């Protein structure tokens, strides 16, 4: 297997586009912490407020709660620009309206790098991706394709088949764990038997492996989609 390339460093603003609260934290928060520590600007755009995401909680209560958890989570990795677009959780669809919102967010934020979600059908054999994620990733790709020049320099997706990686430190990893753990109510209901701190640490461990194809360094991987 070819070694992973170093993620580009010659940029200033990244726009992270995801479907739900907690999506940035499940994959890329350690990299975000590194970048904001270097003085880069990172903005989060979320299609939904995750209002269907907590079992037994009404959407009208859940949406605002999860927005609050997401803002606290973003703050842990140096992100204070977080926007929620109000598309329906669990019914995200690659519509013209969603593509138009993606394009509007990119045009307004003027990122050098757009970071989206994995849009493939399976993370690994037997581990299917969520439909919301697949629809959302497809919408981002299509919207990016249709942007007028000059487009952002790169579109990457976080996910299981990286082409590039960002080395992260112990401090980045600690911040990523703290960031994911801010989704307190979400994680508490998701897995009542496992302490939130352990859930967060286990997940960040999985997404910041020491990669043999990246000099053995702990890192976050991204797949280059377009440049």
Binding site for Zn ion (CB under 5 A): 19-20, 23
Cα–Cα distance, 129 to 127 (Å, whole number): 7
Residue 66 C-beta: closest distance to Zn ion, Å: 11
Which of 225, 218, 222 is CA-nearest to residue 164? 222
- The residue number whose beta carbon is nearest to Zn ion equals 20
Residue 129 C-beta: closest distance to Zn ion, Å: 9
Cα–Cα distance, 178 to 200 (Å, whole number): 8
Residue 132 C-beta: closest distance to Zn ion, Å: 6
Give the ranges where the chain is alpha helix by DSSP (H): 23-27, 29-37, 59-75, 96-109, 131-146, 170-181, 184-190, 196-207
Q: Residue 201 phi/psi, 5° resolution?
A: -65, -40
Residue 48 C-beta: closest distance to Zn ion, Å: 9
Residue 50 C-beta: closest distance to Zn ion, Å: 8
CA 78, 14, 59, 202 torsion-angle sign: negative
Decide whether 90 or 169 has the Cβ nearer to Zn ion.
90
Decide whether 138 or 147 has the Cβ nearer to Zn ion.
138
* 150: preceding bond cis by omega (within 30 degrees): yes
Decide whether 20 or 34 has the Cβ nearer to Zn ion.
20
Decide whether 122 or 213 has the Cβ nearer to Zn ion.
122
Cα–Cα distance, 126 to 8 (Å, whole number): 32
Decide whether 19 or 167 has the Cβ nearer to Zn ion.
19
């Amino acid at each position: 297997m070819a070694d992973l390339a170093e993620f580009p460093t010659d940029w200033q603003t990244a726009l992270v586009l995801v479907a739900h609260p907690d999506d940035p934290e499940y994959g890329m928060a350690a990299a975000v912490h590194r970048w904001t520590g270097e003085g880069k600007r990172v903005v989060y755009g979320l299609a939904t407020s995750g209002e269907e995401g907590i079992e037994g909680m009404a959407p009208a209560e859940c949406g605002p709660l999860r927005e609050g958890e997401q803002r606290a989570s973003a703050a842990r990795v140096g992100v204070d620009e977080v926007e929620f677009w109000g598309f329906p959780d669990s019914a995200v669809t690659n519509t013209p309206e969603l593509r138009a919102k993606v394009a509007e967010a990119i045009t307004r934020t003027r990122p050098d790098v757009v970071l989206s979600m994995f849009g493939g059908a399976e993370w690994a054999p037997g581990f299917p991706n969520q439909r919301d994620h697949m629809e959302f990733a497809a919408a981002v790709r299509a919207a990016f394709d249709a942007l007028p020049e000059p487009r952002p320099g790169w579109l990457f997706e976080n996910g299981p088949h990286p082409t590039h990686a960002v080395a992260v430190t112990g401090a980045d990893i600690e911040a990523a764990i703290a960031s994911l753990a801010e989704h307190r109510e979400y994680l508490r209901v998701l897995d009542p038997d496992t302490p939130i701190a352990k859930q967060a640490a286990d997940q960040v461990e999985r997404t910041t492996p020491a990669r043999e194809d990246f000099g053995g360094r702990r890192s976050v991987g991204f797949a280059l989609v377009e440049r």
